[in-house]
Structure 1
Amino acid sequence: MELKRRNRVNAEFSMASMTDIIFLLLIFFMITSSAISQSAIDVKLPKADATNVSAQDPSTVTINPEGKYFVNDKEVPKEQLENVLVNALKDEANPTFTIRADENTRHKDVVFVMGIAEIHKFNLAIATIQEN
């Protein structure tokens, strides 16, 4: 009597786990693709009011569209701005000032003031108002 072995290896492959992996990848790519910004061209900067100075801020640097600098409403030449800010903030435990720039102010003028804050480790706030 001859006995046949029934322990054959099944040649079929189950695709159930493969579909789970594909759905997980699909969800991953859908979430990450929505997180990527479309374009920086559509960015609208909010308006800044260069005329109203808040009394609660210890120091305010205002920059008008012509590139003139004002510290607490007093005009200061660009070359002296750093010295005036350092002297104004020297007695503060946590030196902080606010930049108030008109929406038509050149970017390099704002970056110049931000550079002064970085060099001297001043805290900085940028004042803007929300457009309606």
Structure 2
Amino acid sequence: MAIRTRKKALTEVNLSSMTDIIFMLLIFFMLTSTLIRIVPFELPKSFSRAKAPIKITVEIRAGDLGYEVNDNPITEEELKDVIARTIQEKKAANEDVTVTIIAEKGVKFRKVTDVIKIANSLGTKAILATEPHT
């Protein structure tokens, strides 16, 4: 009587296709991350730890670099119309609207108060974004 030997099951997993997928994802994220435009600037410091929902952002740049509403560059003359239109869009979608003012350090206080007055005249809240004190 012949003794049969059992064939052992192959326990190795082929991961070559997995490494190809990971490599392609790595390339994709590297390329898309270079397309994002981030302009760093310094915010005023504050001891407040309160966080508010961000629906509409108004960035004010120091000097004559102008304004940005939700990352769209605009001029000072367009500011009120663009904020009003954005608030109407948010209210039409039944969203709670808050205008978050992101003022670079060194911006004239008049520019900040102008945005606060515009938000107040349109019947919405305005808050100033700050950097926490360390």
TM-score between the two structures when normalised by the length of structure 1: 0.55
SS at match of 2:45: coil
Give, in angstroms, the shift of residue 130 of structure 1: 1.8
**Structure 2 residue 87 is the aligned partner of structure 1 residue 85:** no
Q: RMSD of aligned C-alpha atoms?
A: 1.7
Structure 1 runs (4+) greater than 6 angstroms displaced: none
Aligned residue number for residue 120 of structure 1: 122
TM-score between the two structures when normalised by the length of structure 2: 0.54
**Unpaired runs of 5+ in structure 2?**
1-43, 47-52
SS at match of 2:121: helix
Q: Which has the bigger relative contact order, CA under 8 A and spacing at least 6?
A: 2
The percentage of aligned residue pairs carrying the same residue is 25
Q: In terms of Rg, which structure is larger?
A: 1
**Unpaired runs of 5+ in structure 1?**
1-44, 48-55
Report the count of equivalent residues: 80
Q: How does 1:1-132 map to 2 (within 5 A)?
A: 46=45, 57-67=54-64, 68-91=66-89, 92=91, 93=94, 94-132=96-134
> 8 Å contact 1:46–1:103 — kept in the other structure?
no
CA distance, structure 1, for counterparts of residue 82 and residue 74 of structure 2 = 8
